[in-house]
Structure formats: C-alpha cells, structure tokens
Structure 1
Amino acid sequence: MVIHYVRDMERACAFYRDTLGLPEEPTPGSGSSGWNTFRCDGLIVALHILPPGDSAEGPLPHAGLNLQVDDLDSAIAEVRAAGGTVRAVQEAGGGVPVRVAEVTDPDGNGFELRQHVG
C-alpha cells in the first residue's frame, strides 16, 4: 500500500478517480472524509487527510511504504531485534480503525507498519 497525505480529500479523490482513472477500492475505514483507497494494478493507493498539527504550507512530505501486519506489537519487536528503530506508535481511535508504527530499517529508511483493529 502506498499512502499519500492530502489537504483536500474531495479534490484528491476527484484527481485520482476522474483524472487518473483509478477505481475506488473499499478497505477497512475507507470511504470516510479522512481515508479513501484506490486500486492501481495490484497496488492499493490510499489517500489520508493531512494529520492534525501538520503544516498545510509547501509540499507534503508524507508518502511512502506502508505494510499491513496482523500483530503490530510483534512486528515492532521484530523491527527492533533486527536493528531498526520505532519513532512513534499511534493507537486506533477517533473513528480510525488502525494502529500505526512509524519505523526505520537499520539504515534509517522510514516506513509504516499498520494493523487494522475492530
């Protein structure tokens, strides 16, 4: 899954759906004002509203590799054991049914691990 953070969900959905022709792909939590997903060949492209507190000025620095895991706590332990780091963990809540860990590999390359809950 590739996630792009956006400022305006309606505009972004229109761009990916109408301009690029990507079909909407329902996933847990999608179809809300904060999360929508599209299929691009075998890949899911997810649009996520800009997180609270992030600046809306300039280009958005949020895009990258997001891996779905069944057990976030176990995956975090494996990342640490292999020399990676965990920068932050966001618990599910506020209508968002996903726990997210921002992690890095041993070389400092960042990515996210995501576990759908409930």
Structure 2
Amino acid sequence: MSESGGISDLDKNRALADWLEWQLRRTRNRIRELEVEERQERRAHERAQAGHSWKIQPKRSRGTATLHRGDCSLTPQLGFINREEAIIALNEPDIEACRICHPETDLRAA
C-alpha cells in the first residue's frame, strides 16, 4: 500500500500481470479453436472436391484399370482427374467403371 491509502505500484503490476496472463490463456484457447475449425473446413473442402472428381486405379495383373468417383472408399489416395479426363478414360477399352461407386452416372448426366 502507498502512504496515501491507494494501491501500490507492486499491487498494480501484479494485477496487470494476472490480467495479461488471463488474456494470453484466452487468446491461446481461441487460436486452438480456430485451428480446429480450419482443419474441419479443409477436410470438408477436400471431401467436396473429391465428390466432383474422379480417379483411375491402375490395372492389376491381367485385369483392367478402374475409374472411380473421387470419394470412392475402395481406392487408396490417388491423384484426381477432371470430368473431361474421366469421360475420355471411360471410353477407353482397358478402363472399366467401378461397380460400387458407379462414376459413369455423374459423367453421363448433364
């Protein structure tokens, strides 16, 4: 305490330090929340992109290559191709459409 009965400089600085620590905790929590939201948005964007893309699974042994929808769960993470490339691929004799995800449905529509 100061002689005049007010708050001492030491107490003021302790109060300021407490408030700054509270602000820092709040800010760090908000950063964590925003990072989670950003990851969720990125995943949603990737899923949406996959839903409007296609991918080709290379042929295995004597089989044929297979065209899949981008979001088909039967294929490992492959690179995506666009609609025009998928239409061309579907017309190739050594590429067949996946019997599970039926990518040809979206390619023949519109």
Bigger strand fraction: 1
Structure with higher RCO (Cα < 8 A, 6+ apart): 1
Bigger helix fraction: 2
Name the TM-score class by shorter chain: under 0.3
Give me the TM-score of the superposition, normalised by structure 2: 0.26
